[in-house]
Chain A
Amino acid sequence: QKEVEQDPGPLSVPEGAIVSLNCTYSNSAFQYFMWYRQYSRKGPELLMYTYSSGNKEDGRFTAQVDKSSKYISLFIRDSQPSDSATYLCAMIPPGVTGGGNKLTFGTGTQLKVEL
């Protein structure tokens, strides 16, 4: 069983839809949770991160962590064609500092927002 599971998609939605992207994980010791966006032929870029449980909002994006269920989500409101990309969840286990060091990634969900 992988430490982090993510539905690969593809997920296709109409412009303006609310998108929900999810990951489950098995290691209850994970503390930092991140979402990266990766456009085709590009490197991943950080969208959001949260520490421990709770919600975090940034513009049209909301990250949610439910540690009791070992489940994290990324919601995209008013989705745009420019949101079409692969979304990767990532986690840092405790005792490890971040900064590109020791990230455990999900396999990514491919999202397509259609006009």
Chain B
Amino acid sequence: EAQVTQNPRYLITVTGKKLTVTCSQNMNHEYMSWYRQDPGLGLRQIYYSMNVEVTDKGDVPEGYKVSRKEKRNFPLILESPSPNQTSLYFCATGQGSTEAFFGQGTRLTVV
């Protein structure tokens, strides 16, 4: 079954404590992205990757890091989380088409 798996699904953390949200896909897709979804602002792209070791900034990259060492994995790293990074995060994958396959989401709360 084609899957985009994010972990954890829910996370509450404190300001400044580094965290990583993992994303893994089993579809052998080249493209992977991270989005955050906020009320009234919709989905906004944080970072994307076109292939292994190729990443680029999206629309709201500040405060986030990513890496793409393997094709299937694209972790999102928050080195020093702040309350304004409280959001619903989605990982998405695709293969040169117009379709993006989204994970189930990670709800992050930073206190």
* Contact (Cβ within 8 A) B103 A98: no
Q: Among the listed stretches B12-20, B62-70, B78-86, B87-95, which one makes contact with chain A, having 4 or more residues with CB under 8 Å of it?
A: B87-95
Query: Across the two chains, which residue of chain B brings its CB closest to A6?
Result: B42
Can you list, as one digit per residue, whether each of A77-98 has a CB less than 8 Å from chain B (1) or not (0)? Answer: 0000000000010101000011
Which residues in B have their C-beta under 8 angstroms from that of A108? 42
Cβ-defined partner of B43 (8 Å) among A88, A97, A98? A88
Supposing A99-B97, A100-B31 touch, asked if A43 and B40 sit within 8 A by C-beta, the answer is no
* Contact (Cβ within 8 A) A43 B42: no
* Contact (Cβ within 8 A) B105 A100: no
* Contact (Cβ within 8 A) A101 B31: yes
* Contact (Cβ within 8 A) B105 A98: no
* Contact (Cβ within 8 A) A107 B31: no
* Contact (Cβ within 8 A) B90 A44: yes
Q: How far is the CA of A41 from the CA of B9 in the complex (A)?
A: 10
Secondary structure class of chain B's binding surface, majority of residues: strand
Query: Across the two chains, which residue of chain B brings its CB closest to A92?
Result: B98
Which residues in A have their C-beta under 8 angstroms from that of B98? 32, 34, 46, 49, 92, 98-99
Which residues in A have their C-beta under 8 angstroms from that of B43? 44, 88, 90, 103, 105
Can you list, as one digit per residue, whether each of A1-43 has a CB less than 8 Å from chain B (1) or not (0)? Answer: 0001010100000000000000000000000101000000111
Query: Across the two chains, which residue of chain A brings its CB closest to B6?
Result: A43
Interface residues of A in 42-65 (CB under 8 A from B): 42-46, 49
* Contact (Cβ within 8 A) A100 B93: yes
* Contact (Cβ within 8 A) A105 B42: yes
Which residues in B have their C-beta under 8 angstroms from that of A41? 104-105
User: How far, in Å, is B11 (CB) from chain A's closest CB?
Assistant: 15
A residues sitting closer than 8 Å to B (CB atoms) are 4, 6, 8, 32, 34, 41-46, 49, 88, 90, 92, 97-103, 105-108
6 tightest A-B CB contacts, nearest first = A99-B94, A43-B102, A100-B100, A100-B94, A107-B42, A100-B92
